[in-house]
Amino acid sequence: MRHLISADQLEREDIERLCDMADKIRENPQKFSKILSGKIVATLFYEPSTRTRLSFESAIMRLGGRIISTENASENSSGKKGETVSDTIRIVQSYADAIVIRHSDENSAENAVKVAEVPIINAGSGKNEHPTQALLDIYTFRSSKGHIDGLSVAMLGDLMYGRTSHSLVKLLGLYDDITIYELSDERLRLPEEYVTLMKSKGVKHVRCGSFDDIPRDVDVFYQTRVQKERMGEQADKLRTFDLTTSIMNKFSDDSIIMHPLPRNDEISIELDEDKRAMFFEQAKNGLYARMALLYEILFLG
């Protein structure tokens, strides 16, 4: 793999291999601590980030590489002066061996690849995709449930504008016997193209009206934040389906709770102590999944 732009690029075998590698790195980080020595990776973030940027930067440094970074590229890079992403990529690639980019433009990563002579990793392209998040989400399913085939996943929150859900649906489509229960405001439902995709991949898709429509033994709750920054005033009038202790009491002890984070009120903090809460672990898994990806792209080449 040279670039990672979309979850479409990943096959089951790729995911298995990357997850196996993430496990190996987690078990013996010392063994991998110099593999990127001499490499420099640029992180170009035009949108806010905590987990994605810092876990990428930590992953690079834990593999022995170094970083150059603009943590607020829309303000602090020449983007502010009107430079296009393509021009910026042409420049930054002279200084770095790979570029990790997040931008509000849905085609940002694809456009970057068109001019890039170094690997490009999409760390979030508008409301479109977030493939490395989907990779770490699948890695979290695998480490906490032990398998992906046969999983039932309740997807909640903002499935219209939430890029993490889009990339995740694409990856879940690679597995057998998957059921997705969709519970969201009708204006925040998965876009039609993802519904079509699920159908073509044999994913069972159930639109729910309330928590009562989700089976007690659902394997995963995948909660997401309303992407207010992508929809303006409409955001305040939307219905959310927040997870609280009283809601979770209706579900199995084995139903895990995930969230790409950051959260607002959609998972109440009282659930942090619930043994089913997996979202902090999930964020930690991002480090290992991204180390595995960097190993493939930059070390194996």
Q: Confirm if 225 and 198 have CB atoms less than 8 A apart.
A: no
CB of 283 to ligand NCD, least distance (A): 7
Residue closer to ligand NCD by CB (options 201, 228) is 228
236 phi and psi angles, rounded to 5 deg: -75, -20
Which among 189, 178, 190 has a CA at the least distance from the CA of 152?
178
**Set 3, 102, 103, 166: catalytic member:** 102
CB of 184 to ligand NCD, least distance (A): 14
CB of 253 to ligand NCD, least distance (A): 26
Whether 259 is catalytic is no
Residue closer to ligand NCD by CB (options 32, 226) is 226
CB of 260 to ligand NCD, least distance (A): 4
Half-sphere exposure in the Cβ direction for 68 (13 Å, CA): 13
Residue closer to ligand NCD by CB (options 182, 266) is 266
CB of 17 to ligand NCD, least distance (A): 23
Residue closer to ligand NCD by CB (options 39, 163) is 163
Whether 81 is catalytic is yes
Whether 103 is catalytic is no
The edge-to-edge listing of strands for the beta sheet with 220-222 is 204-207, 179-183, 152-156, 220-222, 256-258
Residue closer to ligand NCD by CB (options 91, 269) is 269
Q: Confirm if 1 and 14 have CB atoms less than 8 A apart.
A: yes
Residue closer to ligand NCD by CB (options 3, 130) is 130
**Set 53, 62, 130, 276: catalytic member:** 130
Whether 145 is catalytic is no
41 phi and psi angles, rounded to 5 deg: -115, 135
**Set 39, 43, 52, 53: catalytic member:** 52
CB of 133 to ligand NCD, least distance (A): 5
**Set 51, 66, 145, 189: catalytic member:** 51
Whether 17 is catalytic is no
Contacts for 149 with CB less than 8 Å, ≥ 6 apart: 175, 176, 177, 178
Residues near ligand NCD, by CB under 6 A: 51-52, 124, 130, 133, 163-164, 225, 260-261
For the annotated catalytic residues, the residue numbers are: 51-52, 81, 102, 130
